[in-house]
Structure 1
Amino acid sequence: MAIKKELEGGIGEPLVEANEDGTAQKSKGQPWMVYFSTFIAVCGAYEFGACAGYSSPTQSAIREDLSLSLAEYSLFGSILTFGAMIGAITSGPIADFLGRKGAMRFSTAFSVAGWLAIYFSESPWPLDIGRLATGYGMGMFSYVVPVFIAEIAPKELRGSLTTLNQFMIVTAVSVAFIIGTILSWRALALTGLIPCAILIFGLFFIPESPRWLAKRGREREFEASLQKLRGEDADISHEAEEIQDYITTLDRLPKPKLLELFQTRYLRSVTIGVGLMFCQQLGGINGVCFYVSSIFELAGFSSNTGSIIYAILQIIVTGIGAALIDMTGRKPLLLISGSGLVSGCMITAAAFYFKVHEVALGAVPALAVTGILVYIGAFSVGMGAIPWVVMSEIFPINIKGLAGSLATLVNWFCAWLCSYTFNYLMSWSSYGTFILYAAINALAILFIIVAVPETKGKSLEQLQAAINA
C-alpha cells in the first residue's frame, strides 16, 4: 500500500490507492476487543442520553422542592445546551491533545461533578452549575465517542458500531423518562453516575485509538493497540502501513486554522460534515422530542400513552438502523430517513390543519399520532445516527479535531435554535410549523443526493483521501 499523492500544487490524485487486487487483506483475528472497547465508549453515549432525559420527568418535583419559578427551571433545562456548546468547541483540541481515552476521562469528570452538584443542590445556583457541567460532558461525548469508535473499528463493522452511539443515547433518554416517574429527582441524578463509573473503570482495559497514537508518533504503542484490537493472530501489516503512510503524508501538510478548513482541499468534507448537522437538527427533531407530550395533548391524544409508544419505537427503530447501516450503506438509509421525515411532517400538518379548520375532527388524534410516530421512526433509522457516523469518517486526522469541533458546535447551536423557536412557531401556526419542517427535510434530501458520498466498505484513509483530494 503506497501513497501516490504529490504534494506540489495541493490538488491532484487521491492520497490513497486501492489495493492491487481491489480487496482488503482479511484479518484472521477475532475483534472481541473492538466490541468490548465500543461497549465501554458508548457508556459515554448513554451518559449523553441520561443528561438529555433528566429534566422532563423531574420538572414538577424540582420546582416544588427548591421553590423554583418557571423561569428558573427553564434556565436549568436550557443551560444544558450551552454547556454542550462549550464542550463542542473544546472537544476536538482536547481529544487531539489528551487522546480519545483522555478526552472521555475528561468528559466523565465533568459529568460526575455535575451530577453530584445537582444531587446536593438546595438552591438554584448549584443546580444550574451542575447542569452546565453535565452539559459540558455531554458536548464532549457527542464528538469523541463516535470518533473513537470509527478509529478502532474495522471498515466492515464501522457503520453499525458507530451507530450504537445513537442507540445508547435514545435508550438512556427513554430509561430516564420511565424511571424518573418512580425515583426522586435526587435519586435519578445518582443513576447518571452509573455509566460514568463503568467508563472510568473500563478505560483502563481498552487500547487507545491506534490512529491517534500514529499521529502522535508513538509507533510501538500504535502497533500494539492495532494488534490488540484486531486479535493476536491477525496480520496487521497492511492496515498499519496504510495508516502510517497516510499520516506521514498529512504531517507534511501545514496544520490548518479555522478559516483554512474552507480551502479547496478540505471544503468538501467540511461541507458534508457541517451540512449533515444542519439537516439533522433544523428538520425539527428537538422541537418534536422536547414537546412531544404537548403535541399529543394539542391533538387530543393521551400524552402518557403517546410518549411511551414514542420512546419504545425510537429504541427499536434505532436498533434496526444500526443493524442495516453496514448492509445497505449510509446514503440509502439517509434518503429513506429523509423521505419518512417529510411524510411524517405532512401527516402531522394535515392533522393540525383539520383541527384548525374543524374538518374531520375525529381523525385528528389518529393522524397526529401516526405523523409523529412516522417522523420519529424515520429519524431514528437514519438521520439520528448517520450524520455522526459520517462526521467521524470523513475528516482527515490532521483536521479532525478542529473540523469535528466545528460540526459538533453547529449541531448543538441548531439543536438550541430548533427547541427555542418551536413554541413560537406553534403559536404562529401549528400546521405551518410542520409544513416548514417538511420543506427543510425535503431540502436535506436534495443535499444528501448531491453532496453526501457513500462511505460504506472503505478504510478511513481511502475515504478521506478520495473526499479531500
Structure 2
Amino acid sequence: MAIKEDVENSVQEAEIREPLIQDNNNLAHGEDGPSQKSSSGHPWMVYFSTFVAVCGSYAFGACAGYSSPTQSAIREELSLSLAEYSVFGSILTFGAMIGAITSGPIADFIGRKGALRVSAAVCVAGWLAIYFAEGALALDIGRLATGYGMGVFSYVVPVFIAEISPKNLRGALTTVNQFMICMGVSVAFIIGTVLSWRVLALTGLVPCAVLVLGLFLIPESPRWLAKRGREKDFEVALQKLRGKDVDIIQEAAEIQDYITTLEQLPKPKLLELFHKRYLRSVIIGVGLMVCQQFGGINGVCFYTGEIFETAGFSSSIGTITYAILQVIVTGMGAFFIDRAGRKPLLLVSGSGLVLGCLLAAIAFYMKVNETALQAVPALAVTGILLYIASFSAGMGAVPWVVMSEIFPINIKGQAGSLATLVNWFGAWLCSYTFNFLMSWSTYGTFLLYAAINALAILFVIMIVPETKGRTLEQIQAAINK
C-alpha cells in the first residue's frame, strides 16, 4: 500500500495535503504483502497501553483531590495558618504550569514513554516530601512537585493515547484520560475521610508505581519513533499495537509519508506557531482550553461545598453526589464520543453548562431578594449538578481529545505545551477569582459564566471541526493547509 502527497519543490512553500491512498490491488505483492495478512485484529495491546498511560491520569486526579479532605487535619497537626494552607493548595497550579511549559519539549526529546517516566518520578518525590513533611516548606515543595507531574501528565497522556490508537477507537480511548482523572479525584475525596493525610499521600504512589512498571511492557508511540527516524522500531511498535497478523502497510506508509512531508518544512519556533499554515490548529487547540476553563469549572469544583452551604444544602451530601455523578457521566461520554462525534458532545455539554449556570443564578437571585426561599436549595443544587454533569459529558474531556488530534507532529510539542499552559493558567485564574466574584454577586457570577459558556458554543459551531473517524494525518492535513 502506498500513499502519495503533493509536496511543493520549494520547502518554504510546502503545503500539507490529505494523503491519497491507492487501491490495494495495485500494490499487493510478494508473500509478505497484504494478501497474506488480515486487515484487522483485536487491539488488546492498544487497550493495555491505554490502561498503563491513564494510570498517569489517575495520579493527576489523586493530586488534584488531595487537599480538600485533608485541610483540617494538616492545619491542626502542623499548626498551619489559613494563609499557609492556601499556599499549599494553590501552588499545585503553578507546578502544573511549569509542567505544561516543559511537557512538549520533554515528550519530543525523550519520547512519550520517557516523559511519563519523568512525570511519575517527580510525583513520587512530591508525595514522599508531603508524607515526611514537618512544616509548611516541605509540604509546599511536595505539592509543587506533584503539580509539575500533573502538568506533564495532562499533555502527554492524551497525546500518547491518540498516537497509538486506531481511528475508530481514538476518541473513546482518549476520553478515558478524563474519566480516570475524575476517578482519582473522587477516590481521594472518599478515602480521605477515613485515612490520615500522611497515609493518603502514600496512596498517591500506587498509580505512579503501576505506570512505571507498565511502561516496560508497552511500545513507544509509533509516530514519535517515525519522527525520530527509527524506522525499524516504528514498524515493530505499530505491528505490536495492531496485532501480529494485521496488515500495517497502508497505515505505516501514510504515517511515514506524512512525516516525511513535515520534515521538509522549516522547524517552527514559538512565534511561527501563528503562521498561517498552523494558525487554525493553534486557535482550535488554545480556544477549546479557554472555553473549558473560563466557563467556571475550577471555581465550581474547588468550592462546591461552600456553594451548597450558601444555598442552604448539605455540603457533604452535595460533594459526594458530585463526585459520583462526574465519574458516571464522564464514562458515558467515553462511550458516545466515537459514536456521536466530538462536536455534538461539545454542543450538548455547552448547552447544559449554560442552563446549569442560569438555574444557579436564578436560585441565588431569589435568595438575595428573599423570594420563594424554600425553593432555593433545590434549584441551586439542580443547577450545580447539571453544570457538573454537562461539563463531564463533553467540555471536560473533548478539548483534550481534539488537542491531541489536530497538531501536526512537528509542532505538537510546542503547540501542545502552549495549549496546556493556557489551560492551567485558566484553572488558576478561575479558582483565584471565584471567591471575589461571589463576594461581588452570587447570581452575577453564574450569569457571567453562562455568558462565557454561550460564547464557547458559538466558538465550537464556527471554528471546531469534527474529527471522528479520520486518521491523525487526514485531520491535520485538512486543517493545516
Q: Is the 8 A contact 2:50 2:173 kept in 1?
A: yes
Aligned twin of 1:78: 90
1:160-239 matched pairs, under 5 angstroms: 160-239=172-251
- Deviations 1:197-246 (CA, angstroms, capped at 9, x unpaired): 10010000000000000000000000000000000000000000000000
DSSP 3-state at the match of 2:39: coil
Tell me by how many angstroms 1:27 deviates. 3.1
Match of 1:109 in 2: 121
TM-score by length of 2: 0.96
C-alpha distance in structure 2 between counterparts of 1:173 and 1:464, whole Å: 33
**1:351 equivalenced with 2:363 (yes/no):** yes
CA distance in 2, matches of 1:43, 1:10: 41
Aligned twin of 1:340 = 352
User: In the aligned structure 2, how far is the partner of 1:462 from the partner of 1:11?
Assistant: 20
Counterpart Cα distance in 2 of 1:156 and 1:316: 23
> For residue 3 of structure 1, what is the amino acid of its counterpart?
E
Alignment of 1:1-400 (within 5 A): 1-6=3-8, 8=10, 14-19=16-21, 27-400=39-412
Alpha-carbon shift at residue 4 of structure 1 (Å)? 2.0
Alpha-carbon distance in 2 for matches of 1:27, 1:456: 20
Residues in 2 aligned to 1:451 and 1:17: alpha-carbon distance in whole angstroms: 23
Q: Secondary structure at the match of 1:415?
A: helix
Residue 449 of structure 2 is aligned to residue 437 of structure 1 = yes
Q: Distance in 2 between matches of 1:21 and 1:2?
A: 12
CA distance in 1 between partners of 2:475 and 2:308 (Å): 43
Deviation string for 1:134-175 (max 9, x for gaps)? 000010000000000000000000000000000000111000
Whether the 8 Å contact between 1:142 and 1:408 is mirrored in structure 2 is yes
Q: Is the contact between residue 19 and residue 254 of structure 2 (CA under 8 Å) also seen in structure 1?
A: no
In the alignment, the residues of structure 1 paired with residue 441 and residue 56 of structure 2 have an alpha-carbon distance, to the nearest angstrom, of: 38
Aligned residue number for residue 27 of structure 2? none
Contact 2:357 2:450 in 1 (8 A): yes
**CA deviations over 1:411-445 (Å, ceiling 9, x no partner):** 00000000000000000000000000000000000
Q: Kindly provide the amino acid, as one letter, of the partner of residue 422 in structure 2.
A: V
Please tell me whether residue 416 in structure 1 is matched to residue 423 in structure 2.
no
C-alpha deviation, 1:21, in angstroms: 6.8
8 Å Cα contact 2:14-2:265 kept in structure 1:
no
The code of the aligned residue for 1:313 comes to L
In the aligned structure 1, how far is the partner of 2:295 from the partner of 2:65? Answer: 20
| Equivalence for 1:405 | 417
Preserved contact between residue 353 and residue 431 of structure 1 (Cα < 8 Å): yes
Instruction: Check whether the contact 1:118–1:189 (CA below 8 A) recurs between aligned residues.
Output: yes
The share of aligned pairs that are identical, in percent, is 76
> How many Å apart are 1:319 and its aligned residue?
0.3
Offset, 1:270: 0.2
Q: Which runs of 5+ in 1 are unaligned?
A: none
Q: How far off is 1:60 after superposition?
A: 0.2
TM superposition shift of 1:20? 5.1
Preserved CA contact (<8 Å) 2:5 2:20 = no
User: 1:9, 1:396 → 2: CA distance?
Assistant: 16
4+ residue runs over 4 A deviation: 9-14
SS in 2 for 1:194: helix
Q: SS of the residue aligned with 1:155?
A: coil
How far has the Cα of 1:28 moved from its partner? Answer: 2.3
**Distance in 1, Cα, partners of 2:367 & 2:7:** 61
Equivalent in the alignment of 2:28 = none
- The size of the alignment, in residue pairs, is 467
Give RMSD over aligned pairs. 1.3
Worse-matched range after superposition: 4-13 or 372-381: 4-13
Cα distance between partner residues in 2 of 1:21 and 1:423: 61
Residues in 2 aligned to 1:410 and 1:133: alpha-carbon distance in whole angstroms: 19
- Cα displacement string for residues 390-422 of structure 1 (whole angstroms, at most 9, x for unaligned residues): 000000000000000000000000000000000
1:46-83 superposed Cα distances (whole Å, 9 cap, x missing partner): 00000000000000000000000000000000000000
| Partner Cα distance (2:254, 2:344) in 1 | 28
Q: Secondary structure at the match of 2:168?
A: helix
- Rounded Cα–Cα distance in structure 2 between residues aligned with 1:419 and 1:7: 50
CA distance in 1, matches of 2:78, 2:7: 63
For 1:237, give the aligned amino acid: I
Is this contact kept in 1: 2:12–2:265, CA < 8 A? no
1:284 counterpart letter in structure 2: G
Q: Deviations over 1:86-123 (max 9, x none)?
A: 00000000000010000000000100000000000001
Instruction: Please give the alpha-carbon distance, in whole angstroms, between the structure 1 residues aligned to 2:9 and 2:314.
Output: 63
Query: SS of the counterpart of 2:469?
Result: coil
User: 2:12 touches 2:266 (CA, 8 Å); kept in 1?
Assistant: no
2:437 to 421, 425, 428: 425
Check the 8 A contact 1:18/1:462 in 2, yes or no. no
Question: TM-score when scaled to structure 1?
Answer: 0.98
Specify the code of the residue in structure 2 equivalent to 1:349. A
**Residue identity opposite 2:279 in structure 1:** L
- For structure 2, the 5+ residue unaligned runs are 25-33
- Is residue 16–residue 261 contact of structure 2 (8 Å, CA) maintained in 1? no
For the residues of structure 2 that align with 1:10 and 1:156, how far apart are their CA atoms?
34
Query: Structure 2: how far apart are the matches of 1:382 and 1:125?
Result: 38
* Partners of 1:5 and 1:16 within 8 A in 2: no
Q: Does the Cα contact within 8 Å between 1:160 and 1:326 map onto a contact in 2?
A: yes
1:18 Cα deviation from its structure 2 partner: 4.6
CA distance in 1, matches of 2:199, 2:43: 37
